Amino acid sequence: MLNINPIKFVSFNNIQNKYPQKQIGLKSDTFVRSSNNVSFKGCESANNNSFIKWAQETDFIKTQLPEILANPKYKLGSGFSHSAYMIPGNEAYILRTPNTKVQKDYNFKNADIKDTEDKDLNVNIGQEVASIEVPTDEGISIQIQVLKKQTGKPIGVPPSQAVYIEDTDILRDGEIPYEARERKEQYASTIHTVAQLPVETYEKLINDIRAAEKAGYCFDHLNSNNLLIDEEKGSINLIDMDKNKLPANLGNVLYALTNINYFSTFRSQYDSCPMGNEEISKAFEDTVKIIDKFIQAMKNKGEKFNRDECSYEFFNLINSIPFSFYCKAFDENQKWQVLEAKGVV
């Protein structure tokens, strides 16, 4: 059992991270893609695609899609480049649309739907299953994605690049400051939930990562919001995975699980919304628990960190205060020795 003694952070206030926390990432929503049933050109496998079958049967594009895009009540959320919409009468999928301002009307009569489902992928990562191309009267088309629906709330806080316009301190539309109390409370609440999950949940997450890897998908670790916690099911769900041939990097997954890039902001006493010592200590303890449980899950699954393939972000995690506490060492080589003794190197 992991024992953690109460900690005061006064002595840590002057400790600076070894590296800057610049990242690139997008605000994540739970996205699903929707489809039209007007045109099925190039969709030979439409009969095997459950969403397209449903869209045909319900005449979805003509009867529902225009209302969904026009009515704000169907919007689930927005990032700075995309928005997500629910689909009434279909709980298995959602729509993801670009935040493109169209000056003229959509031409739904000439919309085209394509089956884009990856038949090699046997795990739900919120992936695209269909694509709807809708032309407009101004001669351009928008691409609407139909994604498998995932359940849960995002872990932590998105990177600052998702909050502010690039290379400025100007907030993106609809955003609140990075250090806002609401964000700090979101961070603390979600990592506390993650910390309470059993080791088996972490093992399932590793299984899902590996299954997605076999189908050619890689997890985008720069945004912790790409992990969703379903408290009711006790699961951690994946979204917004990229299709590429990069091998899965479990160090990056742990980096995202801890949302460690936000830890220094959370415990800062120099912004407009400082947190109390008790809240800071609790977040610290929860972070250490997440590290401990994930490493135990890796050991149970026979997984290992590869020091030669570690990312810049994982080294940031290794050099963080919670990871140092977990290893009971501040020297980087000593930390690797600890991980090796635990059987994960």
pTM over 0.85: no
pLDDT at 344: 98
Least confident span in 134-143, 162-171, 213-222, 277-286: 134-143
Which residues 6+ apart lie within 8 Å of 315 measured at CB? 18, 19
For residue range 66-114, list pLDDT tens digits in order: 999 999 999 998 776 788 999 999 999 999 999 877 656 889 999 999 9
Q: What is the DSSP string of 207-237?
A: HHHHHHHHTTEE--TT-GGGEEEETTTTEEE
Helices 199-214 and 277-301 pack at an angle, to 10 degrees, of: 60
DSSP state, residue 276: P
pLDDT at 104: 67
- The residue-averaged pLDDT of 161-182 equals 92
Distance (Å, rounded) from C-alpha 79 to C-alpha 84?
Answer: 9
Q: Are 136 and 142 in contact (CB under 8 A)?
A: yes
Helix (H) or strand (E) holding 318: helix 312-318
- Minimal CA–CA distance to 34: which of 61, 67, 72, 58? 61
Q: How far is CA 147 from CA 35, 66, 85, 118, 128, in A?
A: 10, 18, 10, 11, 4
Residues of the chain with pLDDT > 90: what percent?
76
Cβ–Cβ contacts within 10 Å for residue 88, how many?
A: 11
For residue range 243-299, list pLDDT tens digits in order: 887 899 999 999 999 999 999 999 999 999 999 999 999 999 999 999 999 999 999
Which residues 6+ apart lie within 8 Å of 254 measured at CB? 290, 291, 294, 295, 314, 317
Least confident span in 4-13, 176-185, 265-274: 4-13
Q: Are 206 and 303 in contact (CB under 8 A)?
A: yes
- The residue-averaged pLDDT of 316-323 equals 98
pLDDT at 74: 96
pLDDT at 276: 97
